[in-house]
A and B are shown apart, each in its own frame.
Chain A
Amino acid sequence: MKLRAAAVSFLNARPLTAGLAGSPLIDLVLAEPSLCASMLEAGDVDLALLPVGALPGRDWEVVPGLAIGADGPVQTVVLCGEEPPERWDEVFLDTASRTSQILAQLMLRERGITPRYTHMPAVEGLARAVGPKGALVIGDRAFDVRKRVILDLGREWNQLTRLPMVFAVWAARPGALRPEDVQELARGAQVGLGMRTELAQQFAREAGGDPERYRRYLTQKIRYGLGPHELDGLEAFLSRAALAGLVPPTKLRFADDVVRSRRIRRTVSIDLALQKGADGVRLDPDEAEALDEKAPLLELGLAADMRRRALHPEGVVTYIVSRNMNYTNVCTTACSFCAFYRPRGHDEAYVLDRGEMAKKIEETLALGGIEILLQGGLHPDLGVEWYEELFRWVKSTYPAINLHALSPEEIWHIARTSDLSLDATVDRLVAAGLDSIPGGGAEVLDDEVRRRIAPLKCSTDEWLTVMRAAHLKGLRSTATLMFGVGEDSRNRVNHFVRLRELQDETRGFTAFICWTFQPENTRLEPSDNSAHAYLRVNALARLVLDNVPNFQASWVTMGGGVAQAALHMGCNDFGSVMIEENVVSAAGTTFQMDSEEVERHIRDAGFQPARRNMRYQLIGQAV
């Protein structure tokens, strides 16, 4: 039976709902926000895109990862009038949304304004908002409000709390949601977010107005993620409202989003599979999964070491000197495992300027560095031109620097915000100086996991599509895996198999790197993210990814000693002397090494150190 759901028809909800049209699991009706709440309450629907003001006092289960919010001006929730708010003695509250009513009262109270509140429909309130009267207007009609004084409540909230404002979430009657429903909502969001330009155009045809303005509204003003900062914002809103006596105190409850569906696996001999892996015979998914679940660490290690010896018999372990330059920490995807990102209005949000970048690059060159690893958040204001100018400037000012830049996620983001095709985006970035692509943002390439931990990130197919396009244009890239986020053996093996298939096709991956999820300062609960798990998964990857030439040991997350052990269990590269690293250290891990220390670790473990470039060619002699 299909799940009955209600959602608002507002433009900002469409990216979350458009992808659910024709859904086999969810039947959607559209209604005003306050009506969505009463339908859920009355049992007319089991699930609703609910204004957060309707959460208190109820035990609805919130769907993780997705929301409608803003981290600055939102445009569609405004207080307006003809005179400054300080003079208002009465404010007409749009009856369409309880959340905005609460927000309006909280914001006015912050300014010491306590007018009389009268509930009435927006059209009427707007008409009456003259003299010492104000009106709350929400929804699409707020786009066209013409009043002398307009307070954007998204901006007001953000300036007050430095947190994003969350307006609505998917919420359900307790127990009504099956895990596949949660996944369906995430899938719908991914589809809908990918068609924001079309949705804007469609809306302009229906309601009139400038499609470009609507597109910017959907891509730059509204946030659709519910990550750690958004949850902080939501909790702050609910607790302030409770303190003000506007709602009862609320404890958020989340829908269970773990899916357990298993295919039947044939019986596999662990010993035989290990022998095959050690000898370089291709492992099938059943064998890989059995090894992932059952093989002891040292058995995987021995087999992976045999593979490493076959592929790299010289006993050389390479490394590169590079700098990680995170050009911005502003990001819209709000992944639950990320401690680095900040919403746009946040006090700690930044975009590096040229001066800061020049200083970083010059320091890198002075330390013998040859590569800049340029990665950042998905900043809604940065279009392809910004990147083109940046790359041209780097390449013309510092011709020796290799630009290892932009994970697939960022490339999709640039294509989206600039309204370009993927091919055109990659072409323009390459023409501007992009040399190679880091394999970040892969996390676990299995949509079952991605939808749970990062519902707004690109899908597995999209990630691979960028890599394929880049490889076919002659770019090389790395591939990564971040695990310990609650995935299982099957998810990890799916990840390896998808990478292996693309590698068969393009041969564009130079290396594979895995690490475990670092949970500090994030809200995601880790599964096994221990050193033991790292060594096992790394060794298994060496066996399954038989066509990826190089394996990096991740001392940044695991420490030098565990990374040395990894050199004896499949790895032939010690990664990079990272002059700067911000993302992992934001999540609590702070291992540091200079070239000398990296070489000492390599030598001590019994290998000959050598410096390389991004294509894994040796450069010069080791220090």
Chain B
Amino acid sequence: MLSSLAHRALERDGLGGIRDKVLASERLTEAEALSLFEARDLAALGSLANHVREKRHGDLTFYNRNVHLNPTNVCVATCKFCSFARPDDKHASQGYTMSLEQSVHHVVSKRELGITEVHIVSGLHPDLPWEYYLETIRRIRQAWPELHIKGYTAVELHFFAEKFGKTHEQVLRELIDAGLTTIPGGGAEIFAERVRRKICDDKATAEQWLAVHRAAHGLGLKSNATMLYGHIETLAERVDHMARLRALQDETGGFQVFIPLAFHPEHNMIGKAFPKPTGYDGLRTFAVSRLFLDNFDHVKAYWVSLGERLAQASLSFGVDDVDGTVLEERIYHMAGATTPQALSEAQLHRMIRFAGRVPVERDSLYHVLRVHDAPAQGAVTAAAGGPR
């Protein structure tokens, strides 16, 4: 139930109409989403988004235990916001490509840590054969049959299709046969053509990105969706991005979660002109997306990009998922992220509990693995003070 203070604030800000639609579970228009973005009243906006979040999930807050695998950073695309990609494998350019053995070892060596998912994202390597990508999945599947393999963004999948002369469906079928279970949401950036032309004109277009996800959903794969915000895009272009996702979701129902990602400015081509988006921008983006994307189950805050403090605050602004323990994140850290490269499960629990929520470990398909409703032994430090 929305509180009387929230009602008062929303009326005051002229958001009474939007509030009424949200309370009646009616769909918001793009113009309404834009006016929420521009409202400049974070507490009122947050209250509305929190209302929807709690209606869907109560206090449950999801995370998983995962490991990231980035088999190569060599990439033919020249995205202006990227600090990770290198043009070739040469030592001088700090490019690298992992052997199949290295990739498998990287994942399997984490077995004792209770990992349930590997998240695989790479560069668009000019020379690697199709077999490399298939074999990566195949060998991980063989070595660890019960592990969820979330692999290859739509941009990579589209690249494979073009490079190896296959349809999206063919690419996906072969990967599914090799052991792939879900598709990550990366590479979406901002769909608007004006923006893509300027920041990533040589990789999959919006239509191609959406086509890959449509194909995946058609084959029964679930996938995620991202939005890279806080660079050259306008607020209207953010809304347009979300609207296209919402439309595809109406069609397929295959998206599990929406993940707004903050642009990180260091060591890339546009960072100098565009500072990192502020935390305020992040919080309102979470809130608006929670309200606008009425057909998405989950909204995720990626703590690696936000920092633990903002990620925790986001749990009151529509977010119900904080990603995972994320072992050895590389992509954001090469763009200057100063967050830790991994969080222990106890740290995640502490962050979630202190926000008044209940930590829930999930798998890649958002099945609940364990509800941590009683404080685990030693997970939350007692309030006893004094020297130790």
Contacts and interface: CB of A to CB of B under 8 A. Distances in A.
Interface of A: 64-65, 226-228, 231, 254, 256-258, 271, 274-275, 278, 296-299, 301-303, 305-306, 336, 452-453, 485-486, 488, 523-528, 530-533, 535, 558-565, 568-569, 597, 600-601, 604-606
Contacts of B75: none
> Which 7 A-B residue pairings sit nearest by Cβ, starting from the closest?
A561-B279, A606-B40, A486-B385, A531-B309, A568-B42, A527-B383, A564-B280
B381 interface: yes
A302 B42 CA distance: 9
A50 B9 CA distance: 61
B179 to A, nearest CB: 39
Contact of A565 (B44, B313, B386): B313
Contacts, number: 161
B385 A257 contact: yes
Interface of B, secondary structure class, is: helix
Contacts of B44: 302
B6 to A, nearest CB: 6
Interface of B: 3-6, 8-9, 40-44, 46-47, 50, 275, 278-283, 306-310, 312-313, 315-316, 350-351, 354-356, 381-388
B43 A605 contact: no
29 contacts: A254-B387, A274-B3, A298-B47, A298-B316, A301-B43, A302-B8, A336-B387, A486-B385, A488-B383, A524-B387, A525-B381, A527-B382, A527-B383, A527-B385, A530-B350, A532-B313, A532-B354, A532-B355, A558-B309, A559-B310, A561-B278, A562-B313, A565-B42, A568-B42, A568-B280, A569-B42, A605-B42, A605-B278, A605-B280
Nearest to A277: B5
Contacts of A274: 3, 5
A600 B354 contact: no
Contacts of A256: 384, 386
A525 B50 CA distance: 31
B3 to A, nearest CB: 6
Given A527-B381, A535-B313, A564 B279 contact: yes
A565 B287 CA distance: 13
A565 B356 contact: no
B43 A569 contact: yes
Contacts of B312: 530-532
Interface of A, secondary structure class, is: helix
Contact of B5 (A275, A533, A597, A604): A275
Contacts of B307: 559, 561
A559 B40 CA distance: 20
A258 B278 contact: no
Given A524-B385, A561-B306, A601 B280 contact: yes
A64 B386 contact: yes
Given A558-B309, A565-B279, A604-B280, A532 B356 contact: yes
A278 B5 contact: yes
A597 B265 CA distance: 14
Nearest to B279: A561
Given A558-B309, A601-B278, A530 B351 contact: yes
B312 to A, nearest CB: 5
Contacts of A528: 354, 383
A302 B13 CA distance: 12
B29 to A, nearest CB: 23
A144 B351 CA distance: 59
Contacts of B310: 531, 559, 561-562
A336 B385 contact: yes
Contacts of A600: 275, 278
Most buried by A among B40, B280, B350: B280
Given A303-B5, A336-B385, A452-B386, A532 B316 contact: yes
B387 A560 contact: no
B309 A530 contact: yes
Given A256-B384, A531-B310, A565 B280 contact: yes
A447 to B, nearest CB: 14
Contacts of B281: 604
B316 A297 contact: yes
A299 B381 contact: no
A229 to B, nearest CB: 11
A305 B43 contact: yes
A297 to B, nearest CB: 5
B388 A525 contact: yes
Contacts of A275: 4-5
Given A258-B385, A561-B280, A561-B309, A271 B3 contact: yes
B387 A64 contact: yes
B43 A298 contact: yes
Nearest to B355: A532
Contact of A486 (B308, B351, B355, B383): B383
Nearest to B47: A298
B46 A301 contact: yes
A258 B384 CA distance: 7
A302 B385 contact: no
A306 B5 contact: yes
A449 to B, nearest CB: 8
A452 B385 contact: yes
